[in-house]
Amino acid sequence: MKIKKGDTVQIMVGEDSGKTGKVLKVYPEQNKVLVEGLHLFKKHKKPRRQGEKGEIVTVSRPVSAANVLLVCQSCKKPARVTKKRQCVICKTQL
């Protein structure tokens, strides 16, 4: 997997297509990445103790790594990456 924690990626498919964010966690077994502030869903949380209120929390879910592209730091464009983590467009190391 060429995407690592801390990389900046752009989502190419779905509701958040075109948005960029930082990778928080990588799941190589499932081929998914967790992107900060993107692919958000609402989760209903039940009250666990007496007197506590239930609430609706927004949670970020993992995205398939096939649906994201790394953003090159030098040319600021989403680009495909070689095995050596090199940008295909401007040939710089990522």
Model confidence at 80, pLDDT cuts 50, 70, 90, reads confident
What local confidence, expressed as pLDDT, does residue 35 receive? 94
- Specify whether the CB–CB gap between 33 and 11 falls below 8 A: no
Q: How far apart are CA 26 and CA 14, in angstroms?
A: 19
Reported as a single tens digit per residue, the pLDDT across 3-50 is 889 999 999 998 889 999 999 999 999 999 999 988 889 999 999 999
Strand partners, 68: 11
pLDDT at 76: 84
The confidence score (pLDDT) of residue 92 equals 74
CA 19 to chain centre: 10
Considering the segment(s) 8-79 as one domain, its CATH architecture is Roll (2.30)
CA 26 centroid distance within chain: 9
* pLDDT at 85 (0 to 100): 76
DSSP 34-84: EETT-SEEEEEE---STTPPPEEEEEE--EEGGGEEEEPTTT-SEE-B-TT
Residue ranges of domains in the chain: 8-79
